[in-house]
Copies of this chain bind each other. A is one copy, B any other.
Amino acid sequence: MLYCIRMDVRVPHDVDPARFQTLVAEEKTRAQTLQREGKWRHLWRIAGEYANISVFDVADHDELHAILSGLPLFPFMTIAVTPLARHPSTIA
């Protein structure tokens, strides 16, 4: 099942930079693993913002929540979830 996810990252100005960079690196690794597994189907940067729009393809809400809440940068993110259904005009 598909979900459109928007993630906005906020970096507190007084966070430890080294600690944050470690999380960013872990996030990248995790994002690439999930893409290879086919669960993180699309990942785009929103131009001009520290944010992304993504499409996830997972079994159900529980798997979605487990993945998102397990992301290394989850504590710094605001996340919006939109469930996607098949559109009657799609040719895909």
Contacts and interface: CB of A to CB of B under 8 A. Distances in A.
Interface of A: 1-5, 11-15, 27-28, 31-32, 35-36, 42-50, 52-53, 55, 60-62, 64-65, 68-69, 75-76, 79-92
Q: What's the dominant secondary structure at chain A's contact region?
A: mixed
Nearest to A60: B1
Instruction: Count this chain's copies in the assembly.
Output: 10
B45 A87 contact: yes
A64 B48 contact: yes
30 contacts: A1-B61, A2-B44, A2-B61, A3-B83, A4-B44, A4-B53, A12-B13, A12-B14, A13-B75, A14-B14, A27-B89, A28-B89, A32-B89, A35-B91, A35-B92, A43-B92, A44-B87, A46-B85, A47-B85, A48-B65, A48-B68, A48-B79, A48-B80, A48-B81, A48-B83, A49-B81, A53-B84, A61-B83, A62-B86, A64-B85
